[in-house]
Structure 1
Amino acid sequence: MSFVNESLTNVTAGQQYHSLVGIVLSSALTTLTCCVFLFINGTLLYTLRSKSVFRETSRYLLLYNLLFADTVLLAESQVLFLFSAGRVMLSYPVCGILAFLSNLTFVISPLTLVVMSLERYVAVCYPLRHSSIITVRNTGLAIVLVWAFGSLNVLAHISLLLQFPFADLESLQMKDHCTISAMMLTQISYHFEEAFTCFLFAVAGVTVISSYVGVIVAARSASTDKASAHKARNTMTLHLVQLGLSLLSTVHNPILATLSQIMSRVELLRIQIFIYVCTVLLPRCLSALIYGLRDQTIRPVLMHHLCCRLNHTH
């Protein structure tokens, strides 16, 4: 009997050891990847503020807004991932701040892609009116409206959260990992989040696709600059890809919740890393990789700043 107990103890210790090693390796791997992306994003953000041509051009202002939101979300997602991997339980107030900030920056990306698509549509279909419609002032107003709309969504979530009877709880310490889903403490909060997400991506998808079709139709016109229309079409194709990846990140938590019921913690951890990288990390680094390397104006300045920073590091 003691031999059986000793064997079970060894198996349990072995499982705990492998689980601990897996957590450490996954945390180190994702953190290193995240730091690389944050370094590139941070350098591009600095690049977009380094020259007046970037500060005074609407599409670069929109890119800065998109990149800023993605960078904040990327950093916060990694922090929450490390808390989850390390089984760190937060209090409801602290988790609420992190979760709703994540929710805000998540909403900013598709809305900014909508404005960027409309800007390219106007540039191709109404080139003579582009400079009068897409001004720095109007672009700044559009960015303010994007953040205001995202903030209204957060305020709606907070008002729904306050309806939960926190006074009946023994403690404000959470018993689950901190996620946006974990802060949906009432049924109406889930329904509101689902409805808002569907509405957001439906509007964004219809707008980007309509702009894409409009550019294709305009490209067939003899009076349209073919090269400009071709670049705009490629840009909006990338916007659709980014929008699709952002939508994919909404299924991250539901997939993990389903898999957690049929898999062990070690197996779930391996799947979680893959899903996390594909649905959270990858979409948030695409903006820097796409625009930083593709744009002929940004690329030389970005490479100069990257090389300088790497030289200073060494």
Structure 2
Amino acid sequence: MILNNRTQLNITVNLQREGILGIVTTSTLTTLQCTVFLFINITMLYTLRSKEVFRETSRYILLFNLLFADTVQLAHSQSMFLLSSFRLTLLYPVCAALTVFNSLTLSVSIATLVIMCLERYIAICYPLRHSAIITIRNTGVAICVIWITGLLHTIIQLSLVLRFSYRDLQLTQMMDFCGKESVFLDPASDLFEKALTYFFFVLGGVTVVFTYTGIMVAAHSASTDKASASKARRTLLLHLLQMGLTVSSVIYNSLIIAISKHLGRLEAVRIQVFLYICIIVLPKCLSSLIYGLRDQKIRPVLMLNLCCQWKGSVYMLTCKNVRVFVT
């Protein structure tokens, strides 16, 4: 009897150690990965503000807006992932505010992607009218409309959440991790969130298909630059992938809950980390990869800035010498 109790105790201790080791390992790996992506994104944001040509080109202004929203989402998602991994719970009002804030940046990202697809469509299909339609003023108006629409979406969400009485829960600690399923308890708020998600997905999908088809048709025209049209098609396909991954992030918590019910804890944690990297982290770094490495104007300046910040002050003199040739 004593031997059986000792055996059970050893098994329990080993499982606890494996669980703690797994949490520390996954948290460290994801944090390092997100730190690298945040470093690249922040450097990309600095790059887009460092040159006049980037500050006065509508395409790069839209990219800055998209990258800013993605960077904020990445930092927010990693923070929530760490809270979930270490089983740290929040007060209900705090969780509600963080969840609604994430919805704001998510809607801004998708709407900005839609505008960027339309900008590429006009640039290829209507090159003579592009400079008259896509102006800095019109771009600024579009960005303001995107953020105002996102804020209205946030206000509506908060008003629907407040329909469920938090009066008795203001100082109550949540029993589960923070997510939409824990906040949108009222059916009306849940229905509104799902309807808006489907709307953004359909809007983004239809926009990409429409612009891609238009560019395909324009590519057969003799007056169209074949290389530019081909590059625009590849960019739109990457935007479609990015948009799909971004929209799929809204079902992340639901997938984790469903998986946790049918698998063991260690298997569920491994799948959670895999889905987190593919669905949450990857879309937030695609903007830098799509434009930072493929755009001939951004790439040399971005690599220069990455070199200067990564190498440190020892190589600043070399970077300054190279900067002369890039300017």
Please classify the TM superposition score into its range, dividing by the shorter chain length.
over 0.9
Asked if 1:173 is matched to 2:173, the reply is: yes
Cross-structure match for 1:234: 234
Query: Which amino acid in 2 is paired with 1:115?
Result: I
Distance 2:49 2:239 in 1: 23
> What is the SS of the residue equivalent to 1:172?
coil
Distance 2:48 2:170 in 1: 49
Distance 2:247 2:275 in 1: 13
- Most deviating of 78-87 and 216-225: 216-225
- Most deviating of 205-214 and 22-31: 205-214
- Most deviating of 142-151 and 247-256: 247-256
Cross-structure match for 1:183: 183
Shift in alpha-carbon separation, 1:170–1:278, aligned structure 2, 3 A? closer
Cross-structure match for 2:117: 117
CA contact (8 A) 2:69 2:105 kept: yes
Cross-structure match for 2:303: 303
Distance 1:313 1:176 in 2: 46
Cross-structure match for 1:82: 82
Distance 2:157 2:71 in 1: 23
> What is the SS of the residue equivalent to 1:198?
helix
Cross-structure match for 2:318: none
> What is the SS of the residue equivalent to 2:100?
helix
- Between Structure 1 and Structure 2, how many residues are aligned? 314
> What is the SS of the residue equivalent to 1:49?
helix
Of structures 1 and 2, the one scoring higher in RCO (CA 8 A, sep 6+) is 1
CA contact (8 A) 2:92 2:170 kept: no
CA shift for structure 1 position 259:
0.8
Cross-structure match for 1:138: 138
CA contact (8 A) 2:235 2:290 kept: no
Superposition map of 1:284-303 within 5 A: 284-303=284-303
Query: Which amino acid in 2 is paired with 1:281?
Result: V
Shift in alpha-carbon separation, 1:157–1:126, aligned structure 2, 3 A? same
Cross-structure match for 2:69: 69
Cross-structure match for 2:202: 202
CA shift for structure 1 position 313:
7.1
Identity among equivalent positions (%) equals: 54
Which segments of 5 or more consecutive residues in structure 2 lack a partner in the other structure? 315-327
Length-normalised TM-score, structure 1: 0.97
Deviations 1:89-134 (A, max 9, x none): 1111221222111111111111111100111111111111111110
CA contact (8 A) 2:113 2:239 kept: yes
CA contact (8 A) 1:69 1:108 kept: yes
Cross-structure match for 2:282: 282
* RMSD (CA atoms): 1.4
Shift in alpha-carbon separation, 1:189–1:313, aligned structure 2, 3 A? farther
Distance 1:201 1:192 in 2: 14
> What is the SS of the residue equivalent to 2:190?
helix
CA contact (8 A) 1:41 1:67 kept: yes
> What is the SS of the residue equivalent to 1:47?
helix
Distance 1:170 1:163 in 2: 14
CA shift for structure 1 position 250:
2.4
Distance 2:168 2:135 in 1: 53
Distance 2:205 2:148 in 1: 20
> What is the SS of the residue equivalent to 2:261?
coil
CA contact (8 A) 2:92 2:169 kept: no
> What is the SS of the residue equivalent to 1:261?
helix
Distance 1:249 1:170 in 2: 28
Cross-structure match for 2:25: 25
Asked if 1:53 is matched to 2:53, the reply is: yes
Deviations 1:236-264 (A, max 9, x none): 11111111221232221111110111122
Cross-structure match for 1:271: 271
Length-normalised TM-score, structure 2: 0.93
> What is the SS of the residue equivalent to 1:175?
coil
Asked if 1:6 is matched to 2:9, the reply is: no
Query: Which amino acid in 2 is paired with 1:174?
Result: M
Query: Which amino acid in 1 is paired with 2:70?
Result: D
CA contact (8 A) 2:242 2:283 kept: yes
Distance 1:167 1:311 in 2: 53
Distance 2:5 2:171 in 1: 37
CA contact (8 A) 1:166 1:172 kept: no
Shift in alpha-carbon separation, 1:291–1:170, aligned structure 2, 3 A? closer
Distance 2:225 2:164 in 1: 57
Distance 1:100 1:63 in 2: 23
Asked if 1:105 is matched to 2:105, the reply is: yes
Cross-structure match for 1:128: 128
CA shift for structure 1 position 169:
4.0
Query: Which amino acid in 1 is paired with 2:259?
Result: L
CA shift for structure 1 position 214:
0.6
Cross-structure match for 1:244: 244
Query: Which amino acid in 2 is paired with 1:247?
Result: V
CA shift for structure 1 position 29:
0.3
Distance 1:191 1:141 in 2: 30
